[in-house]
Amino acid sequence: MADVEHVQVKFFTKQEQYSVPDTLFSVPASVDSKQLSQLINSLLQGDAKTEGDEDLVKFDFLLDGEILRTALNHLLQEKEVSSEAVIELEYVERQPAPYPENSLLHDDWVSAVQAAGENILSGSYDNTVRLWNTQGEPVMTIPAHADPVKCVAWIRHDTSDIESTFVSGSHDQTAVIWRWHKERNEVDCIHVCKGHSGTVNCVSVSPSKEKMCTVSWDKMLKLWSADCLPEDEPESDRPRKKKKTAASKAQTRVPILTLSGHNDAVTAVQWVDDTSVVTSSRDQTVRIWDLKQAVQSNLLQGSEAIFDVAYSPLNGLLVVASASRHIHLYDPRSKEGAVVKQSFTSHTGWVVSVDWSRNNEHLFLSGAYDSILKLWDIRRQDFYVHVFLDLLPKAPLYNMHGHEDKILSVDWSVPELILSGGADNNLKIHHYNVTS
């Protein structure tokens, strides 16, 4: 061991519960963060040494705001820090890693996925919508559409209620509102929303659960009523599109409002609040619409066809996935200056789906055609602020491998569940331990 180079290290932290005495340590230069983490743990626990790894708190170590990922001497070389001087290492508790929980096999590509409460809804290219519970057991398979399903969304889902409602949109240009009776395990098609003349790309239900918006390849944004009160029986003999969805109660519903403005297919929609929605389009724009006045209230110009947009009510920011490997963070409130606040570059394929965490304003998910699901922290750039002038984070918090083909859809509606559906016919469930 004598020939191994040692460096002098001093530890400090901002998290008070993990603070250690301000003493110098001499550690081998080739030490990595795991070993350092053990060292901190042993300091914290004093003499009482435990063998079990699970008791240990995992830490991330930062040198001048850069996370230690490999051996310490590599980082020292990279940052050209002398190994003679005393190195001050900051440590923070590591964000918990999501771990793979389940993989739900479908018959075809999983193009849409959303969770609510104990249940997961998925849409597939075999024209079906499937219901699962969080344990990964199939609840129901609904032959919902005549063409592949593009999007699904829960309208009302309460664990206490015996009835839940959800909506699915499809290549067959319709969105269908379904009612699921849990006890009887029956699904009724309540309403068929007809009006689009192209694939329904995305559907989003308003926070108040009364309205929903669909966007389509026909460049239109349509607003529908989302109430699913069973209406009068006699209207059931209207001509129906689908035999398979043959719920006799299905009624055709027409849009309340149709908004045009995009010059190309609209790819995604999400409610900002009860009166406005944000849409993204392949015409390289993100637009925000005021539905009360039926006007476009804001336009953010990108530089690529945009595939997905997600809005977080916690921080009011938009995360945008476009036809490139970059994810951009937009601030819709900024009137002047660059719209793009940050860029996140790590994917090696088109990013097609993004979703914000519902309870942590810093975290979001992204799924891309490189079949890797990534978890990002937008604060992450704080660590790099001194190093990179462009504030480019080097890497996401976590990469979640597992998919063997393109990821088509991701969902983080339930904070504990990270869902992703891909072209390998799988719906992957990752469990995420929610901290504070």
Partner 1 sequence: MNVSEEEKLHSSDNESDSESEGDLLSENESSSEDITESSSDSGSDSDTESESEDEENAPNGDIRSGDAEKQEKPKDEYAEDSSDEEDIRNTVGNIPMEWYRDYAHLGYDVAGQKVAKGSKGDELDEFLDKMENPDYWRTVTDKLTGQKTVLSDDDIDLIKRIQKGCHPSSSENLHEPWIDFFSSETMIHPVTNRPADKRSFIPSKWEKLKVGQMVHAIKMGWMKPRQEKKVKEEQEFYNLWKDDEEPEITKRYRQHIPAPKEIPGGHAESYRPPPEYLFTKEEEEKWREQEPDERRINFIPQSFSSLRLLPAYDRFIKERFERCLDLYLCPRQRKMRMNVNPEDLIPKLPKPQDLRPFPTAEYLASIVFKGHTDIVRSISVHPSGQWLATGSDDGTVRFWEEITGRCWRKVDVGGKVSSVAWNPDPNLCLVAVAVNTSVILINPRLGDKLIVSNTDSSVLSFGQEEDNSTVAEKKLPVNWIPSDLNLNDYKAGILLRVEHNKEVSQVTWHAKGDYFATVMPQGGSMSVFIHQLTRRRTQNPFSKPKGLVQKVMFHPVRPYLFVATQKYVRVYNLLKQQLVKKLQTNCKWVSSMDVHPGGDNVIIGSYDCRLSWFDLDLSTKPYQTLRHHKKAIRQVTYHRRYPLFASASDDGTVIVCHGMVYSDLLQNPLIVPVKILRGHGTQKGLGVTDCQFHPLQPWLFSAGADGTVRLYR
**77 φ, ψ (degrees, to nearest 5):** -65, -45
- Shortest distance, CB of residue 370 to partner 1, whole angstroms? 8
Site for partner 1 in 47-106 (CB under 8 A): none
> Which amino acid is present at 192?
V
Interaction of residue 323 with partner 1, rule CB under 8 A: yes
Q: Residues with Cβ < 8 Å from 403, sequence gap 6 or more?
A: 371, 372, 373, 420, 422, 424, 426, 428
Q: Residues with Cβ < 8 Å from 109, sequence gap 6 or more?
A: 124, 125, 148, 408, 421, 422, 423, 425
Which range, of 31-39, 155-163, 290-298, 344-352, touches partner 1 by CB under 8 A? Answer: 344-352
Interaction of residue 198 with partner 1, rule CB under 8 A: yes
- Shortest distance, CB of residue 347 to partner 1, whole angstroms? 9
Q: Residues with Cβ < 8 Å from 56, sequence gap 6 or more?
A: 37, 38, 41, 50
* Secondary structure tally for the chain: helices H, strands E: 3, 34
Interaction of residue 199 with partner 1, rule CB under 8 A: yes
Label each residue of 120-135 as H, E or C. Answer: EEEEECCCCEEEEECC
- Shortest distance, CB of residue 122 to partner 1, whole angstroms? 16
Which range, of 154-162, 193-201, 248-256, 385-393, touches partner 1 by CB under 8 A? Answer: 193-201
DSSP designation for 159: S
Which range, of 37-45, 93-101, 135-143, 194-202, touches partner 1 by CB under 8 A? Answer: 194-202
DSSP designation for 34: H
Per-residue interface string for the shown chain with partner 1, residues 11-30, x marking contact by CB under 8 A: --------------------
> Which amino acid is present at 301?
Q
Per-residue interface string for the shown chain with partner 1, residues 351-380, x marking contact by CB under 8 A: -x----------------xx----------
- Shortest distance, CB of residue 282 to partner 1, whole angstroms? 7
Binding site for partner 1 (CB under 8 A): 109, 111, 125, 148, 172-173, 197-199, 217-218, 264-265, 282, 303-305, 307, 323-325, 348-350, 352, 369-370, 406, 408, 423
